Structure 1
């Protein structure tokens, strides 16, 4: 997310210069962060379920899936995305347009 903010510095500055509010830019980056961490969580849950199925199918071990843990791990992924997406999003929303354009 830090790279995403720095890569779109000029675009965000132009949006702020023509009237976008801080909340608009903050929401944009938070939605992106939630979507990315959600897809990452889904991929992680899918890999975990697939590997546990393969271990249970191809070995003599009994494997049980705790759906509570699956939901908790997915929600934790979303939580991490929100927490670590908020810092760069807040940085992008607070940036003054003149400084961002001047530094480029």
Structure 2
């Protein structure tokens, strides 16, 4: 899957194995960590990135996607589907690398 936005400068796409370095680099940020669920690690290591990618790349159906430029992954967006009595609900979550904050990436007019 690939959806381009902001004149094709950014996209939401499937995760790829070669995203591991950018995930480890950008996710290792306390400002990101303090706003996410407790399962998100800090300090975020290459091992965390590898584990994350191996899980989300195997998901079927896919519910977690990369936010990316044409050269690297710069964040993540996904749905956490509810279970049991919450099975008809989902939580939408995302994080975006700090260098891309304030660039209207999360805004659509």
Taking structure 2 as the reference length, the TM-score comes to: 0.24
Give 1 or 2: higher helix fraction: 1
Q: Tell which structure's C-alpha radius of gyration is larger.
A: 1
Give 1 or 2: higher strand fraction: 2
